[in-house]
A and B are shown apart, each in its own frame.
Chain A
Amino acid sequence: MEVLKIATAGSVDDGKSTLIGRLLYDTKSLTDDKLEAIEKTSKQKGYDYLDFSLATDGLVAEREQGITIDVAHIYFSTPNKSYIIADTPGHVEYTRNMVTGASTSQAAIILIDARKGVIEQTNRHFFINNLLRIKDVIVAINKMDLVDYSEERYNEIKADFEKLMSKRDYQDQKITFIPVSALKGDNVVNRSEKMAWYKGQTLLEHFEELDRKDIYNVGTPRFPVQYVIRPKTDEFHDFRGFAGKVYGGELSVGDEVVVLPSMTRSKIKDIYFYDKKYKTATRRSSVTITLEDEINVSRGDMLVKAGDLPTIDKQFTATVSWMDSQKLTVGGKYVVQHGVNKVLAKVENIHHKIHPDYSGIDTSITALGMNDIAQVTFRLNKPIFYDSFKNHRTNGSFILIDNQTNTTAGVGFIN
């Protein structure tokens, strides 16, 4: 079954939780006991409609404050596809959660309140989805019931958003506009009778018909070695298998490969998935590879095709999204985790802060606070093997770990 992960972004009161609840309800994904709990609580609160947001707002603190404060995952499926929704909060202070949710998603929904139109928050949501290079983005113009299902209002908002689109860095991003009412159920799963003027797909139809090629591009294979398998049994006495996940393109038996950083050449002997051998392993498969020659390979090394080397360097510049309350400063030392590889890094320079609402840059800053996004140059204690993020989402990204607290303090996208 195909799995599609969708990130959602919206401001407080844009009706994001209601939209997700509506998706669950109209795809008949809410079970009787969950529906019963929603009905019970809605009644207690004195609502005259079902409060679908109760289906998703998980933590007690959220229920008390009536807001979503962290990334929550919601699951539903159609006969066609399995869906995972990463519900990320949309307030200013939670850029980090939006970046987190978007990092594992292949599609995104940006919600706009039809009464308010494009607001500063919308810019941020769009900026982040574009920064993370999400290929398929839906702009859902919600609460159409409150603007009399007006086509004119819809077109106004669409035109405002299109102005924003000219500013984006990743121009290949596909953007689709859909007028919806999550509360009343228009154009979410079922077509709206009130908006006959809209001829496009409903939200669910759009995702159902998304093809793999709409969300992925063919890339170049990178195989970071996670773990070395040495069974030391009689049957597999000399077996040395390199376990990892194939990122980018595909790898086949007989391919000439280079092991980084030793630059040793060899050929792929076997590709195992569990107890079967295969000729080719495609993207995202967790396989075990053996090589023709006995060479030393350990965790953090990388297998790439000969003639297709990444950049090997002890320095790089990246767009960093900072997620920690402790500031990032010039001279600060962190652990860079690049895939499964870890190296020590020092902040060489903070070039400028990028305002995530497309209002420009700030060159006067010397430190990064929580939710700041900036261009930063790092120097490493040993070389890593990277691609630019725009060419390779996995091999072009890294996280920064604070060695004192061990927390994941930020994420970076290499230029």
Chain B
Amino acid sequence: MSIVESELETLVGVNESNELEVLNNNALENEAIYILREVAAQFEKPVLLFSGGKDSITLVRLAQKAFYPAKIPFPLMHIDTGHNFPETIAFRDKLVKELGVELIVRNVQDSIDQGKVVEETGKYSSRNMLQTTTLLDAIEEFKFDACIGGARRDEEKARAKERIFSVRDDFGQWDEKNQRPELFDMLNGQIELGQNVRVFPISNWTELDVWSYIQKEQIEIPSIYFAHKRKIFLRDGFIWSAEDDVVFRAEDEKVEERMVRFRTVGDMSCTSAVLSHADTIEKVVGEIRESKISERGARIDDKRSEAAMEKRKQQGYF
């Protein structure tokens, strides 16, 4: 008889009172924990890139699970565009305090002030692209050799080809035609000095997987993910926040108040809202299940051209 071990299995546990307990059926969670442990073991200076969004919050929970009862053995780093939703920043600071881990913040504004990047202007201006320079500078400053991120393959077509350990050269560039094959569970983190690896532990999760996990684990997330009353205006069929002066608004773009929530919490200048009455995690999961617009459909920077994401990635974008 051949003995082939399972690829994806249930973790069935019997707790101490001897009652049979199915802990979870989450193959994706087991895979992510395995990947995070490989990062801690294979690299000298890893960092977890934390945006305050649901994917990076999920990563933090997975890292807690991977290393319990020890603390997460790497710092978190936030590349701050200065265009964050205030709710996200408050949430970030609270979480870091609870975890007792180090938080590094590097600001896009500093890169602008130093003349390294030039702020975009006009109707579709955004700081999303500018993050790349600040990120690469921070990697060099701290000599990080592995940057853990919450990107998922289902987000976008070019991401679907991304490896779990994705090697970047000294310039942070992604060479998509020359990627290392990844076989079975084995992750090859061998790199040269100056190179670094972007690590994506939740590569194989879908948006719904992340939301279901947040629900099941009762993970706290920033309030802007839930339906709330907000001053907004409409442009090109997208809903933009009009509460802060980050998003450029023309005189003739009318402000109205609506119940909305955000599906991603990127740079405010390129993150649009959706109309929603889902004010609890149960209702949000229900909405996602029914949803007919993909998550990145709400991000204007991908719409610029069909190959937008691939181009940004080649330049070192996360």
Contacts and interface: CB of A to CB of B under 8 A. Distances in A.
Contact of B176 (A70, A170, A249, A323): A70
A166 interface: no
A32 B295 CA distance: 11
B7 A5 contact: yes
A394 B203 CA distance: 21
Nearest to B33: A286
A73 B310 contact: no
Given A3-B27, A59-B161, A279-B18, A272 B3 contact: no
Interface stretch (A119-127, A376-384, A403-411): A403-411
Nearest to A321: B183
A99 B181 CA distance: 9
Interface in B1-26: 1-16, 18, 21, 23, 25-26
Contact of A217 (B1, B188, B192): B1
B245 interface: no
Interface in B204-239: 204, 206, 208-209, 212
Interface string A14-58: 000000000000000001111001000000000000000000111
Interface in B23-38: 23, 25-31, 33-34, 37-38
Contact of A231 (B66, B71, B203): B71
Interface in A256-307: 271-288, 299
Interface in B247-280: none
Contacts of A286: 29-31, 33-34, 37, 66
Contacts of A287: 11
A196 interface: no
A104 B184 contact: yes
A227 B14 CA distance: 24
Nearest to A221: B5
Nearest to B23: A273
B69 interface: yes
Contacts of B25: 1-2
A399 interface: yes
B contact face: mostly helix, strand, loop, or mixed: loop
B123 interface: no
Nearest to B67: A229
A58 B157 contact: yes
A7 to B, nearest CB: 12
Size category of the binding interface on chain B = 35 or more
Nearest to B8: A3
A77 B14 contact: no
A278 B66 contact: no
A217 B4 contact: yes
A104 B68 contact: no
A31 B183 contact: no
B23 A276 contact: yes
B141 to A, nearest CB: 24
A139 B2 CA distance: 23
Interface string A95-129: 01101100111100000000000000000000000
Given A104-B184, A394-B185, 9 more contacts: A31-B291, A58-B158, A58-B160, A77-B208, A212-B6, A243-B66, A245-B34, A271-B13, A394-B184
Interface of B: 1-16, 18, 21, 23, 25-31, 33-34, 37-38, 40-41, 64-71, 153-154, 157-158, 160-161, 176-177, 179-186, 188, 190-192, 203-204, 206, 208-209, 212, 291-294, 297, 306-307, 310
24 contacts: A5-B8, A31-B297, A33-B297, A61-B177, A73-B161, A73-B203, A77-B208, A82-B209, A96-B181, A216-B9, A217-B2, A220-B3, A233-B69, A245-B34, A273-B11, A275-B68, A279-B14, A281-B13, A283-B6, A397-B183, A397-B186, A401-B190, A408-B182, A408-B183
